[in-house]
Structure 1
């Protein structure tokens, strides 16, 4: 088990996964979001290559419309 933090909430997952796999596991739509791991934005093209490690801090930001 590894422990990660997603939007300030601690979560345990069974194994190291990619950002893309995590989003799928969370049923998170990939359109209109940005993902940062340890305060570094991860390009959407690299989501399948960015493997999460124990202690990582993930921030998922949902774009909104309006002013």
Structure 2
């Protein structure tokens, strides 16, 4: 198990966990969001290949409409 910070909350996940698995585990939508790992945006087509590491900081931002 490894520890991550996801939107300011500490969670534990399995080793070799990727962003897509993380989104599924926390029941996050996969459309209309942006994901950054350690302050670097990760493009959506890399979510399945981007493996998370111990103490990574993940920020998930939901797009909103407004004017």
Confirm or deny: 8 A CA contact 1:3 1:12 kept in the other structure. yes
1:1-67 mapped onto 2 (5 Å cutoff):
1-67=1-67
Q: Which runs of 5+ in 2 are unaligned?
A: none
Mapped partners of 1:23, 1:33: distance in 2:
10
- The alignment's TM-score, normalised by the length of structure 2, stands at 0.94
SS at match of 1:10: strand
Superposition deviation, residue 25 in structure 1? 1.0
Alpha-carbon RMSD across the aligned residues, in angstroms, is 0.8
Runs of 4+ displaced beyond 3 Å: none
